[in-house]
Structure 1
Amino acid sequence: DCVKRINAHTPYIIGSMVDLGSLDMVKLGEFSSAPRLSKGDEFTLTVRHEVEYDEQTSEVSYDGFIEVAEVGDLVQINDNVELIVVSKNATDVVCEVIKGGQLSSRAPITVRGKSYSARSTNVPTGDLELATSEGVDFVSLSFVEDAASIEQLRSELRARGCNSAVVAKVETPKALQNIESIVEAADAIMIARGDLGTSIAFEKVPLWQERITKLCRECGKPVLVSTHFLDSMVAYP
């Protein structure tokens, strides 16, 4: 309402955007007391679906994680804890901590260089209803991997009478593979450096950022670059 009043009574125009949540982000389970991991610790990610686990084990929210993670893969939790997969079986992925930190319940998990087939255009219905009721200018879609997901979301919005522009968030290796078609299909692009930096080697992020920005300019599409600017300058001056 504040933004609408500003737009109505001042010469300034401020755009509004709803960032759609994802039902399919892979996450840790719940901790009664979240552990702090140290370098060299062993930590197990499991799909056993038991009632309780020891403090060095956590359930993950997607059973297909077992098929995605392989020995030698780099697993990142909440962008700050890093693990290397050292062994696996039908239900457990056993890792060694190479960069410690504090864990938290429901923290997101990524496997560098890989995508989860669980991710889709499914979004919480409440987010779509909010975008429609508020008449926002932009709706951003997380974990876009192809042009089809953009078209599907646009169809869902139009069916609800919502004419918001669709912003595709580029944050996975699959999105990079399909970047030309994604740029063509979206109304605007957001380069989500934080999540992208957990999916590919961090030193490649600026190269992709430059390439995507150039492609958007050539196609006449707005492009936003977000997250980890100050953090990256502190960590990698």
Structure 2
Amino acid sequence: MPNKIENAYKLSQNIYDDALTQKKWWAKLYNYVFWGGVDNLEISKKILSIIPKDFSGVLLDVPVGTAQFTVEKYAALPLSKIICLDYSEDMLVQAKSRFEKHHISNVQCIQGDVGNLPFENQMFDVLVSMNGFHAFPDKEKAFSETFRVLKNGGMFIGCFYVKGECKRTDFLVKNVLAPKGWFTLPFQTFSDLNSFLEKNYSTVNIYHEHSIAYFWCKK
């Protein structure tokens, strides 16, 4: 399964950013058909705005992807230490290039598996996971590992696909994106995710637009 996911993102690396930012006509069409016109940029701004402008702690971003939505935020956090992890080396190459272009020196990019994070317990003050959990093959392990490495009192910030909000999106995800390796079954409903977060985190703020859930929690 990991090889299938890695190959899928390797093949899509040249169109990944366009699909997220919707700058091209085909990307706008894809976004409308699959996601009902949800503005990924606005969602990312909402959740990243939770990180204070004077943040000086340690942050983990997993998966970093191409850093399309995070680069500007990280450029505004010069006092922090940021570690960006992704399973796809192709995504990491693009993310690293983007950070270098913006002259961000406090970011470290490493290849790794969210199901087996190479970090000590309670190492991070903030953990960011954007558009990742719907792709992770072992979601239970991913949730366990991200919880493990987050400090008590730390923030867990993220967004990803949830099923049950739109039958058309659910059908396309199950029959198009999942078989291609971009998404991996099983998927949570919004209610499932809300219940899980409330059970494991002391403070939970969770919302959704169409089939995209976004949240910020305190451990």
Larger radius of gyration: 1
**TM-score under structure 1 normalisation?**
0.28
Greater helix fraction, Structure 1 or Structure 2 = 2
